Amino acid sequence: MAPVNLVGKTVAEIAELLAPFAQPAFRARQIYAGIYRRRLRDWDGFTDIPRGLRERLGESFALGYPRPRAVFVSRDGARRYLLEVGRGDRIEAVFIPEPARDTICVSTQVGCAVGCLFCVSGRVPLRRNLSAGEIAGQVLALQSEHGCVRRRLNVVIMGMGEPLHNYDNVVRALRLMTDPEGMAIPPRRITLSTAGVVPQLERLAREPVVPNLAVSLNATTDEVRDRLMPINRRWNIAALLEACRRLPLEPRRRITFEYVLVAGVNDSPEDARRLVRLLAGLRTKVNLIPLNADPLVPFAPPSAKRVLEFQSILAAGRVTVRVRKPRGKDIAAACGMLAARE
């Protein structure tokens, strides 16, 4: 039988797997800390475990991360990782260095079923959900690669796939990432982006670990959002915003609304004014994202003047707003460009 991969397992699950080895209870905690806190990738690194036991463990258990197939380096320092998971499935993760912190963007599915027209990931057919270990393993792999364990780290769950379509595994990965005895990433440093799977959004708000939420809105009328985001035909703008209004937010937390600006589609002054009205009363901020053009996307970005005009109208309406600067655009690593390409 193939070795069982322990990356993605909890302390309790590791303890259960160790039962045939007749080890003391603390051994599972040692292994758990070695995987998630010390980021050990082979059994030789577990020097707090007797050598003979390490050899036996190595025969039964693997410490497997998603495997890099290729790495693409941007002029701005961002890196796009093409990773293999399972039997040849490919996903992507992105590492974004900044002076004050590092950011790691991870995927949650092989492909995506949402099919947003402005997003290249939506052109990749959905093959399967990633396991919790494959999601958390992307963070572990890129942390190990870049030695950013001691730096301030942000994790954004914004890569390939709709996270809330893979709810159970994503929540499990969140618990692994935030566990103080393991990866110890504060929940406030993790942001999950969703196209608006309303029932799961409400369910997530009741979890013990709740990340920051970024809701992909991208339109101010159902007619336009139906066109850009087919998911709107199931949960329209009114249903989505009503769900957001019901979410319990901790003090100083806001919901981020992402708005991809598409020339001639959703970037008019009228759209900006409607957006101000739609968000009235919500504790929110808006990220404006000028479309990252790609040959696979049948749209174009608006002019810089148009973007600034849209931003000014939101600001005048007392909406907290910023224009997101793309990172890794020259290597197809920017927002909406991930498609597991060579």
Mark whether 48 and 125 lie in a shared domain: no
Asked whether residue 106 falls in the same domain as residue 229, the answer is yes
Q: Say if residue 255 is in the same domain as residue 317.
A: yes
Tell me the CATH number at 294: 3.20.20.70
- Residues 139-192: pLDDT tens digits? 999 998 886 555 689 999 999 999 999 999 999 999 999 999 999 999 999 999
> In sequence order, what E strands does the chain have?
4-5, 61-62, 67-73, 79-85, 89-97, 102-105, 109-110, 128-129, 153-157, 190-194, 212-216, 255-261, 284-290, 320-323
For residue 149, the model assigns a pLDDT of: 54
Establish if 254 belongs to a structural domain: yes
| Positions marked active-site | 92, 335
Residues 10 and 51 in one domain: yes
Residues 6+ apart with CB under 8 A from 304: none
pLDDT tens digits, residue range 268-316?
Answer: 999 999 999 999 999 999 999 999 988 889 899 999 999 999 999 999 9
DSSP states of 269-284: HHHHHHHHHHTTTS-E
Assess whether 58 and 71 both reside in one domain. no
E strand or H helix that includes residue 136: helix 132-146
Amino acid 295: pLDDT: 87
Span 193-215, pLDDT tens digits: 999 999 999 999 999 999 999 99
| 55-92: pLDDT as tens digits | 999 999 999 999 999 999 999 999 999 999 988 899 99
What's the CA gap between 85 and 21, in Å, rounded? 29
DSSP states of 194-245? ES--HHHHHHHTTSSS--EEEEE---SSHHHHHHH-GGGGTS-HHHHHHHHH
Q: Give the pLDDT confidence of 217-270 residue by residue, as tens digits.
A: 999 999 999 999 999 999 999 999 999 999 988 888 899 999 999 999 999 999
pLDDT value at position 62?
A: 95
Structural domain of residue 29, as residue ranges? 4-62
278, 340, 336, 288: which is closest to 120 by C-alpha? 336
Q: How many domains does the chain have?
A: 2
Q: Whole-angstrom Cα distance, residue 248 to residue 252?
A: 12
20 has pLDDT over 90: yes
Contacts of 185 (CB under 8 A, 6+ apart): 139, 153, 155, 177, 178
